[in-house]
């Protein structure tokens, strides 16, 4: 497990950086900077925890990453595109390469779990016949096989969160952003979901995972982007975890493997 989370790539010169922030500042309106002088790079297959106290700017950083906000200063490159020079009509195509698990889930209320999860595929123009097996299998894998026709209002917080995660990963994004994605589920499910993230990561998806859960951070042992009051200090090498403790290596027999 020497290279499971992209630590090797983390140090190598990032020629094909998926994300590149150069001296990015961000303020809302005329307020003070929420983020100050943020510079970092992510390569394909990187896994980063985004940590830091509440109000340190984690959600704002994610918003910049999922193209909901433009920085007030500095430059962001995404998949090789300099955002400030990318025409607005190109942005949807970039967004489709990004999966987002929003902190407040943001599921569409009147759509069932199945329809919510299928949404990114539908937007990309896929037909029901094409995506149905994948969506059903993914929902089954996150433990919602019996609830695919339920609407969000009939689901518990943890179930809604799993729907949100499934929606974020269903299109196999190149970049996966997650804001406290395991905040509402029990420890057993949070490990199961983490395994899903790691599985995607192994297949080359770059992951930024915002969390307060030190246990997860230390168990996985991936590098951190640590924000303090809007500034970044990269904690590079936390101690490696005993991988067997989480069973994270053992991914050969889970049912989601064929699609994920």
111 interacts with another protein by CB under 8 A: yes
68 interacts with another protein by CB under 8 A: yes
User: Cα-Cα-Cα-Cα dihedral of 248, 249, 254, 260, to 10°?
Assistant: 90
The b-or-e profile of 86-106 (16+ CB within 10 A means b, else e) is beeeeeeebbeebbbbbbebe
70 interacts with another protein by CB under 8 A: yes
28 interacts with another protein by CB under 8 A: no
Q: What is the DSSP letter of 167?
A: H
Distance CA 196, CA 175 (A): 14
Which one among 120, 181, 221, 223 touches another protein, defined by CB under 8 A? 120
203 interacts with another protein by CB under 8 A: no
The number of C-alpha atoms within 13 Å of 186 and in the hemisphere containing its C-beta is 3
145 interacts with another protein by CB under 8 A: yes
Smallest distance from another protein to CB 171, Å: 8
- Our CB check for another protein shows the closer of 146 and 188 to be 146
- Name which of 103, 138, 101 is nearest 118 in CA terms: 138
240 interacts with another protein by CB under 8 A: no
DSSP, collapsed to helix, strand or coil, labels residue 95 as: helix
**What are residue 82's phi and psi, to 5 degrees?**
-80, 115
DSSP, collapsed to helix, strand or coil, labels residue 141 as: helix
Which one among 8, 82, 84, 123 touches another protein, defined by CB under 8 A? 123
128 interacts with another protein by CB under 8 A: yes
118 interacts with another protein by CB under 8 A: yes
- Our CB check for another protein shows the closer of 13 and 109 to be 109
Q: How many CB atoms lie within 10 A of CB 2?
A: 7
For binding to another protein (CB under 8 A), which residues are involved? 66-70, 88-89, 91-96, 98, 100, 106, 108-112, 114-115, 118-120, 122-124, 128, 132-133, 136-137, 139-140, 145-146, 148-149, 167, 255
């Amino acid at each position: 497990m020497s290279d499971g989370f992209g630590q090797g790539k983390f140090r190598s010169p990032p020629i094909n950086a998926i994300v590149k922030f150069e001296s990015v500042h961000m303020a809302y309106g005329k307020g003070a900077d929420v983020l100050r002088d943020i510079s970092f790079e992510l390569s394909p297959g990187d896994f980063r925890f985004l940590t830091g106290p509440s109000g340190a700017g984690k959600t704002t950083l994610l918003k910049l990453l999922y193209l909901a906000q433009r920085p007030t200063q500095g430059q962001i490159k995404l998949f090789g595109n300099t955002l400030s020079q990318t025409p607005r009509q190109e942005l949807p195509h970039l967004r489709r390469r990004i999966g987002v698990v929003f902190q407040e889930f943001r599921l569409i209320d009147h759509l069932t779990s199945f329809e919510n999860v299928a949404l990114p595929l539908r937007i990309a123009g896929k037909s029901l016949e094409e995506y149905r097996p994948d969506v059903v299998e993914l929902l089954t894998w996150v433990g919602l096989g019996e609830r695919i026709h339920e609407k969000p209002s009939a689901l518990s917080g943890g179930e809604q969160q799993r729907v949100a995660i499934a929606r974020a990963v269903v299109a196999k994004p190149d970049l996966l952003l997650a804001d406290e994605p395991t905040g509402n589920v029990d420890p057993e499910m949070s490990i199961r979901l983490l395994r899903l993230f790691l599985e995607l990561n192994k297949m080359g998806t770059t992951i930024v995972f915002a969390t307060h859960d030190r246990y997860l951070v230390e168990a996985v042992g991936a590098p951190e982007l640590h924000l303090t009051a809007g500034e970044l200090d990269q904690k590079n090498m936390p101690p490696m975890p005993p991988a067997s403790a989480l069973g994270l290596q053992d991914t050969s027999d889970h049912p989601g493997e064929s699609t994920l």
